[in-house]
Amino acid sequence: MEDLALHVIDLIDNSLAAGATRIAVRVEERPGADRLLVQIADNGHGMDPETLARALDPFFTTKPGKPVGMGLALFAQAARESGGGLEVESSLGGGTTLRAVFGLSHPDRKPLGDISGTIGLLQQAHPQVAFVFDHTIVEEEPNEAQTRRS
Amino acid sequence: MKLKPEDLDKIRQRMKSTSSLREGAGKARVNVHLGTCGIASGAREILKAFLDAKAEAGAQDVLITTSGCAGLCNKEPMATIELAGEAPVKYIELTPEKVRRIFKEHVLGGRAVAEYALALGSERIS
């Protein structure tokens, strides 16, 4: 995957497969903390604890007929390689929220790419789904207690 | 392309006007496979090429959508085209140029482009 926009397509495909009718993508740049947050929240069917525990395993998938499930694992790897990481929150019936943190100025951090244009394409292909996109640059120092949720 | 949040709403409203076609009344359905493998090999440009070709032709009765991996990762990017009442055709190793020809000849013209289609033998993994 060349840029984060391509990862976002992949993760939105997961949300669509989970029957989501609302998919919100949030990009937040925090230059003060040298952090970039990419969050994807959907209202799909979510995952049970067993599935969630294996969600980042590239050799685990819930889709029939294939032995691998690379999408989430590659996204987590992209975050790790830039000095960040990925958190996944999910419950059956409660949707899924992915929260990836990247090192904003890290040399191995992939470029964002055209995320808004990419979501525009997906919105055209899936008009029954409400896509929300938001890109902000937060100048002040972040409050860790507020940004970290468990 | 730089989109504002309200633009997504406009796209949604515009595309919803074609929702009757989504219930089966359409002439053709184009499904671009957006699995990890497809995306990594250029499926976003393929989706864009189909949407552009549809807009250019003003083809309101053509439905363009996406789904996951088609199971032949080494032949991506792929798309499946279904014309009303006909068997679906899978196209492999697509490029925007191939998409323009497929849209004109198959989606609009009704004749499958055999040389770009998944044919006997090309499903081999090696």
Q: Nearest C-alpha of chain A: how many angstroms from B63? A: 8
CA distance A43 to A16: 10
| Cβ pair A139, A124 in contact under 8 A | no
Q: Which CATH superfamily includes the segment(s) B25-116? A: Glutaredoxin (3.40.30.10)
For A2, name the nearest residue in chain B, comparing CA atoms only.
Answer: B40
Cα–Cα distances in Å, from A99 out to A8, A52, A72, A89? 12, 14, 11, 8
The question of ipTM being above 0.90 is answered as no
Q: Does A125 contact B40 at a Cβ distance shorter than 8 Å?
A: no
Instruction: Output Rg (C-alpha) for chain A, integer angstroms.
Output: 15
Query: Is A4-141 a domain of CATH 3.30.565.10?
Result: yes
Q: Nearest C-alpha of chain A: how many angstroms from B83? A: 17
Give the pLDDT band of residue B126 (cuts 50, 70, 90).
very low
Q: Does B1 contact A134 at a Cβ distance shorter than 8 Å?
A: no
User: What's chain A's average pLDDT?
Assistant: 92
CA distance B50 to B47: 5
Please state the rounded mean pLDDT for residues B35-42. 94
Q: What is the pLDDT of residues A96-105, one digit of tens each?
A: 999 999 999 9
**Minimum-distance CB partner of A123 among B12, B44, B69:** B12
* A70 touches B at CB < 8 Å: yes
Q: Nearest C-alpha of chain A: how many angstroms from B49? A: 10
Cα–Cα distances in Å, from A2 out to A5, A10, A23, B63? 8, 12, 22, 28
Alpha-carbon torsion, ordered B81, B94, A1, A130, to 10 deg? -30
